[in-house]
Amino acid sequence: MNIVIFDGVCNFCNKSVQWIIRHDKNNQIKFAAHQSEAGVKLLNQYGLSTNDIDTVVLIKEGIAYKRSDAFIQICRLLKGFPRYFSIIRFIPRFIRDFFYNIIAKYRYKLFGKKEQCMIPTPGIKEKFLH
C-alpha cells in the first residue's frame, strides 16, 4: 500500500490530495494527515519527525520519500498527464527541494489554512487512514 502523509490543515495540501485522488485511477494511494493518529504512528515507524509538517511524505514499498522525491514518486503512481511531472527527477534534488521548501514555508500565507483537518466526504473516506 502507498500512503501519502500530508498537512491536514493546509489548504494547498488538501487541494493536492484531491488532485491525487482524481488521478489515482488504480486506487493505489491512501492518505493520512500529519496530525492524525495514523500519520503520527507512520512517521514514528519510519523515524521521521512528527513536528516536520511542512513536507509531504510518501511511503511506498517500505521506503519513506520526502519533499520533491515524494512528489516524483506520487506522480509515477498516477495515470495520464500528471505522470509527466515525474520528469523533474532529472533536476538535482538540492534544486528541486530548494523550490519545494519555499512553497512549503509560505503555503499558509499563499493558500491559507483550516482550523481543523479536512473531513473526507463519504465517496473518498475509504482512502484515508485514521
d(CA 6, CA 22): 16
pLDDT at 4 over 90: yes
Residues in the chain: 130
How much is the pLDDT for 119?
73
pTM score = 0.92
Say if residues 105 and 54 touch (Cβ distance below 8 Å): yes
C-alpha distances (whole Å) from 46 to each of 23, 34, 49, 95 are: 26, 13, 9, 25
How much is the pLDDT for 125?
84
**Average pLDDT in the 22-39 region?**
94
How much is the pLDDT for 76?
94
Percentage of the chain with pLDDT > 90?
74
Tens of pLDDT, residue by residue over 34-91, are 999 999 999 999 999 998 888 999 999 999 999 999 999 999 999 888 888 988 999 9
